Amino acid sequence: MFGFGKKDGTVKFRREMAKKLHGMHIKYVMERLGDEDDIIIGREGALITRGKEFMVFSSQHDVFRSNIDETDFSELLSLGGAVITGYDLLSGRVRTLIAHYTDNA
C-alpha cells in the first residue's frame, strides 16, 4: 500500500504540486528560521506559477520566487497549507516557507 505513490523529489511531482497550489489564496505565510523558530512574513496573497517559476505573493509584494523543478513541496496533514523549500531567487538563499491557505474555488 505504501511506497507506490508519486515520488516527492521528482520533477514530475514538483510540477504537479506547483500546478495544484497555483491560485490558492494565502491567509498567512511563515518562514522557518530554525528548528523551532517560525515568523509570519506576510498576510493575504496567493501562490502563483508563471512559466517555470513558483511565486509566493503576500502583503502586496513577492516574498518568494523559485524554479519549480528545484523546489520541494509538501502539503500539511490538514490540507490547509503547504511547506515550500527552495532557492529563493529574490534573496539568493535557500528558504523554507509555510503557507496557510484556502482554495479559490
pTM flag (> 0.85): yes
What is the 3 state secondary structure string of 5-26?
A: CCCCCCHHHHHHHHHHHCCCEE
pLDDT per residue as tens digits for the range 7-42 = 678 999 999 999 999 999 999 999 999 877 899 999
CA distances from 80 to 27, 83, 99 (A): 10, 11, 9
pLDDT at 34: 82
Structural domain boundaries in the chain: 11-102
Residue 69, classed as helix, strand or coil, is: helix
Q: Are 82 and 75 in contact (CB under 8 A)?
A: yes
Q: What is the pLDDT of residues 41-51, one digit of tens each?
A: 999 999 999 99
pLDDT at 5 over 70: no
**104, pLDDT greater than 70:** no
Q: Name the band, by pLDDT with cuts 50, 70 and 90, for residue 6.
A: low
Instruction: Name the CATH architecture for the domain at 11-102.
Output: Roll (2.30)
